[in-house]
């Protein structure tokens, strides 16, 4: 019954053609959203984390097989200590939740970025979740302590450690943190800024971009539909004619 319901909503959804296989979000604007309401920036991250859960669920319901979110960059450590602490605590909360329900939600989880900065206990929880959920259907990539350049360097060093003296594009693609996902079809940035901020630099080569003025906590299902509709208006040529 549940499966039937899912299939039905997928068929009538904005992604009925199924060409959008991987969507990635730069979840920008949490701080400004909070400020607008006279609240501290951390309040915006709490609302942002709540929205992240809603949006990944919705993307799954419209048949998008892979979702990537930019939760914390290698540069975000420079933010005030209380803000870093809040984001890390929201991340821990999500880990708690994911450990409980990844089976039921059918989610395959990957963490993009080096785990070395995290305490050993957190690191082993992240690794365990990745291993245990590996056979699930919908891919969820959470970029934490992530940088696109660092990912490319990490991939090349992995290949060198394997004894390679020359590498191909396919070698690098297969050694990135996103190796399990198809290349992103659509990269969405909320919060009115129009830049990549060191996100998916290699993978973005042929991605479509969608920039929204809406701040992340307000970016709801209707906003996702607008982005997906826009994606289907684009003519993708991948360098051909």
Q: Which residues are catalytic?
A: 28, 76
14 or 60, CB closer to ligand FPP?
60
Minimum Å distance from CB 10 to ligand FPP? 24
The strand pair at 66-73 and 208-211 is best described as unpaired
Give the residue closest to ligand FPP by C-beta.
31
Minimum Å distance from CB 73 to ligand FPP? 7
Residues in the chain: 241
Minimum Å distance from CB 76 to ligand FPP? 5
1 or 81, CB closer to ligand FPP?
81
14 or 87, CB closer to ligand FPP?
87
77 or 206, CB closer to ligand FPP?
77
Binding site for ligand FPP (CB under 6 A): 27-32, 45, 48-49, 52, 69, 71, 76, 87, 90-91, 94, 142, 191
Q: Which two tokens stand for residue 46?
A: 């709490």
Q: Looking at the DSSP assignment, which residues form a beta bridge with residue 112?
A: 143
Minimum Å distance from CB 219 to ligand FPP? 10
Distance CA 99, CA 57 (A): 16
Q: Tell me if 179 sits within 8 A of 111, measured CB to CB.
A: no
**Angle at CA of residue 70, ends 67 and 73, nearest 5°:** 150
Report helix, strand and coil shares of the chain as percent, to nearest 5: 50, 15, 35
**How many CB atoms are located within 10 Å of the residue 46 CB?**
19
């Amino acid at each position: 019954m549940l499966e039937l319901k899912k299939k039905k909503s997928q068929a009538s959804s904005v992604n009925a053609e199924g060409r959008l296989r991987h969507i990635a979000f730069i979840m920008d604007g949490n701080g400004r959203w909070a400020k607008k309401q006279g609240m501290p920036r951390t309040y915006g991250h709490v609302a942002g984390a709540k929205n992240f859960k809603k949006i990944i669920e919705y993307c799954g319901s419209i048949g998008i097989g892979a979702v990537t979110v930019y939760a914390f960059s290698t540069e975000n450590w420079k933010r005030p200590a209380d803000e870093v602490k809040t984001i890390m605590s929201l991340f821990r909360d999500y880990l708690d939740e994911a450990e409980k329900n990844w089976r039921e939600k059918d989610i395959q989880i990957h963490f993009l970025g080096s785990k070395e900065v995290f305490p050993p206990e957190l690191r082993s929880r992240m690794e365990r979740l990745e291993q245990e959920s590996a056979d699930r259907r919908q891919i969820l990539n959470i970029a934490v302590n992530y940088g696109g350049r660092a990912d490319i360097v990490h991939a090349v060093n992995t290949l060198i450690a394997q004894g390679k003296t020359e590498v191909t594009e396919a070698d690098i693609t297969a050694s990135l943190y996103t190796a399990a996902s198809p290349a992103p079809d659509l990269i969405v940035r909320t919060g009115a800024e129009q830049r990549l901020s060191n996100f998916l630099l290699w993978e973005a080569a042929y991605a479509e971009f969608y920039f929204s003025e809406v701040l992340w906590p307000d970016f709801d299902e209707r906003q996702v539909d607008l982005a997906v509709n826009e994606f289907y208006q684009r003519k993708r040529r991948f360098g051909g004619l």
